[in-house]
Amino acid sequence: MNELPFPPIFLQRLAAIVPVERLPGVLRSLVEPKRVGFRINLLRAEWQAVEQALRREDIPFEPVAWIPHAYTAPPEARSRLARSPLFASGGICLQNLSSMAAVLALDPKPGEEVLDLAAAPGGKTLLLAQQMENRGRIAAVEVIRQRLYKMQAVLKTGGAAIVQAYLADGRAIGRKTPERFDRVLLDAPCSGESRFHADAPDSFARWSQRKLAECSRKQVGLLRSALDAAKVGGIVLYCTCSFASEENEAVVQSALDTFGEAVELEPIPLPIENLQPGLTRWGPREFHPALAAAVRILPTDEMDGFFLCRIRKISGVRGRRPSRCRDRRPGRV
Ligand code: SAM
């Protein structure tokens, strides 16, 4: 482990988060090339035609058993997929399976009103639109103008017809549109720990524990806004591509402290074995037992690491004051 190029403290922390028997696989995933995840964009193409075109182009692919119309291809197929006419026309989207899993965990339905609070470059927004069969409305919020433009281009190519894009700070949205959305996706800006790769020193050059604390502060504000914006009975899916509990469990704990019994965490059934329940302890810090309902997807040769937490808003109390969590039944806070 010491000869890996990552910051030693990052590696020590990883060893404290990931179960010991899983650690070698997780470390391997940060060093070896990954298989490419992609999916057919049903807003633009029919799956039979895409499979035929891939065979014609002699691009090898394997279906993913648990995600309809999703596939993986060997790492060396990435550039051929990205140069393929199918990609240029929006018929396929290159997307990691963990990103697809986040949208599946939110489970948006046709006709609903959905908020995507940190949306660019729009990969998950496009899958939301597909799952909603382009019926209903998606408000997609992004704070960086150039990234918003990129997202608009992705959504246009992909045929998403129900998205309104907003250049705004997501932390202000809950105050502006309280209790409005059926579902909210918060794919939060984060340290990107699970995207670190030995071959890309830039991916981890700026990592520090101070950076984790900075990200955490922003994530707390965004999650509060997401929960304020969700209607009663609505669902917020909080996710990051970081391993750090400061960016994951601690952020959800802060929402539990603020919203108390107005929210509860729900299980996320994913039919994969590279999962770990949310931590209920990190060093000296204890988290609410309900956090075990969250999941950490451990990275593999085809999946990025991800943290997912599904939060249902069960009453309309807008939380700005801390309240104590009670644990009256499993998963209830
Ligand atoms: N969901 C996107 C996708 O799947 O394509 C990726 C989202 S990326 C993890 C997080 C995004 O949040 C970045 O584009 C970042 O610029 C944006 N962001 C950062 N701070 C924000 C804020 N305060 N409000 C809204 N968006 C923010």
- Residue 66 maps to a domain: no
Residue of higher predicted confidence among 210 and 325: 210
How far is Cα 267 from Cα 290, in angstroms, rounded to an integer? 10
Q: What local confidence, expressed as pLDDT, does residue 323 receive? A: 39
Q: How confident is the model at residue 110 (pLDDT cuts 50, 70, 90)?
A: very high
| 241 included as an active-site residue | yes
Domain assignment of residue 113, yes or no: yes
Confirm whether 321 is domain-assigned: no
> What whole-number distance in Å separates Cα of residue 209 and Cα of residue 16?
15
Cα 45 to averaged position of ligand 1 atoms, centre (Å): 27
Please say whether the dihedral angle defined by the alpha carbons of residues 44, 47, 51 and 56, taken in this order, is positive or negative: negative
Segment 37-85, tens digit of pLDDT: 999 999 999 999 999 999 999 999 999 999 999 999 999 999 999 999 9
* Residues 6 or more apart in contact with residue 192 via CB below 8 angstroms: 203, 241, 242
Residue 132 inside a domain? The answer is yes
Q: CATH number of the domain that 124 lies in? A: 3.40.50.150
In the chain, what's the furthest Cα-to-Cα distance? 60
264 has pLDDT over 50:
yes
Q: What is the number of the ligand 1 atom nearest to the C-alpha of 124? A: 4
- Domain total for the chain? 1
246-257 pLDDT per residue, tens: 999 999 999 999
192 lines ligand 1 (CB under 6 A): no
Q: Is 99 in the pocket of ligand 1 (CB under 6 A)?
A: yes
Whether 50 is covered by a domain: the verdict is no
CB of 147 within 6 A of ligand 1: the answer is yes
Count, residues in the chain: 333
**Is residue 6 in some structural domain?**
no
Domain for residue 31, yes or no? no
Beta 263-266 vs 230-240: how paired, if at all? unpaired
Question: What does residue 128 show for φ and ψ, rounded to 5 degrees?
Answer: -55, -45
Domain range for 229 is 97-313
Query: Does a structural domain hold residue 206?
Result: yes
Q: Look up the pTM and report it.
A: 0.95
| From 97, 142, 211, mutation site for ligand 1 pocket: most ligand atoms within 8 A of C-beta | 142
Number of the ligand 1 atom closest to the C-alpha atom of 192: 9
State whether the beta carbon of 150 lies less than 6 angstroms from ligand 1: no
